[in-house]
Amino acid sequence: MNIAIVGSGYVGLVTGACFADVGHHVICVDNDQRKIAALQNGRIPIYEPGLQEVVQRNVSSNRLRFTQDIKDSVANSQIIFIAVPTPPRADGSVDLTYIEQVAREVSEVLTEYRVIVDKSTVPVKTGEKVADTIRRYNKIGADFDVVSNPEFLREGSAVADLMNPDRIIIGSNSDRAIALMKKVYEPFMAPVLVTGINSAELIKHAANSFLALKISYINAISAICDASGADVEKVADGIGMDRRIGRQFLNAGIGYGGSCFPKDVAAFIHISEQLGVPFTLLKEVQRINAGQKERFLKLIRDTLWVLREKKIAVWGLTFKPNTDDVRSSVAIELVDAMLREGAHVSVYDPKGMEKARELKAIADAKFAASALEAVDGAEALVIATEWNEFANVDFAAVKQRMTTPIVFDGRNLLNPETMGELGFHYHSIGRASVIPR
């Protein structure tokens, strides 16, 4: 099929590349001239495992191309996916400026039947607004259908998630549009759920909010484990063995971050309030998440006593491993907080250094060239992102380089007993601290 995807960020680029990889002909459209020029020259603006290879393979096969020309893209595509940013506002609502802009641009060049698909994460009833906008600005009354097709991609495994999805949601009341969408997804072996547009739009916010709830739940349990001497990892294992619950997302740590969970939870709270059915449970999810970072900072303060003039190494800046995304990263917030208290912070991340350097909040940090360089002379090490690289570091060498061997593991990445045997003062989340004699 011939497909256009408007927006070439994480969602749009991965979706376009994977659609091309299963045989569709895809045009990725973006109004960012530098981004399009980079993509046309083979440079991928984001780090996502496997993405570069997929893009290069399909550009070479002439199934994937990049342009700024939305008129040509609409004219030569049966289906137009909208995959532009939907940033949060201060009150938790979603800024739909880019969605409205694309809907209007499409409407002005639409001359015959097309399916317009909301791929971006949007509040319920957005599809209705998109349809209203296209009808308002399309002067010739061209026929079209609007579909909601939420994405469920996890940064760090987005290519694998799209190629092997748990489910495909198609929100539409049009048999014609549903048939075309099923044809798009025919190469993907996954169950398809057809719903109305409003139900499809709610599914994404409801799913992400539930996952955030699981994270906050186990983080609340970790505080109880700290107070009672229990081990949160064993408790999570025992809970997760129940097939009705599952072990995924029951990982205690310093809280969730990134461009999805904080935004989607806040948006769902705002949506529910606007509909007159406040979702107060999600406010507690937010409170626990914010409190987890503060609990971890308190642990660091209580152990080191005074942070001013202390040299602290931080491993990890991205909000999760296998991505270069530092947006709404708890790791960045931790570095910022320690810098504000006068600490000298040395940071390292396998993929996030370039984007982190652009952040004013941590401009005063020292950016190290390696994990070992970061700990030179450090009085404490903070593990803020659970990169596999950090689990495989030579900790005997780490201890030799540090002034005092104190580790704060915010992601429970390491084994407490092993760290104790190596002579580290080791602190983690919801597990007993190890203090060598």
Q: Which residues are identified as catalytic?
A: 260
> Under a CB-based contact definition with an 8 Å cutoff, are residues 334 and 410 in contact?
yes
- Report the relative pairing of strands 366-367 and 425-427 from DSSP bridges: unpaired
Indicate the burial class of 377 (C-beta count within 10 angstroms; 0-12, 13-18, 19 or more): exposed
Distance (Å, rounded) from C-alpha 300 to C-alpha 216?
21
> 344-348 and 366-367: which strand pairing?
parallel
Q: What are phi and psi of 36, to 5 degrees?
A: -65, -40
The answer to whether the Cα torsion of 358, 361, 362, 364 is positive or negative is positive
Rg (CA), the chain: 24
Report the DSSP pairing between strands 311-315 and 64-67: unpaired
Please answer whether residues 247 and 280 qualify as being in contact, where contact means their C-beta atoms are separated by less than 8 angstroms: no
Do residues 77 and 4 touch, judged by C-beta distance below 8 A? yes
Residue type, 169: I
- Burial of 359 by CB count in 10 Å (0-12 exposed, 13-18 middle, 19+ buried)? middle
DSSP 151-180: --PPTTSHHHHHHS-S-EEEE-S-HHHHHH
Distance separating alpha carbons of residues 20 and 2, to the nearest angstrom: 10
Selection from 251, 294, 110, 274 nearest residue 205 by Cα = 274
Say how far apart CA 126 and CA 123 lie, in whole Å.
Answer: 6
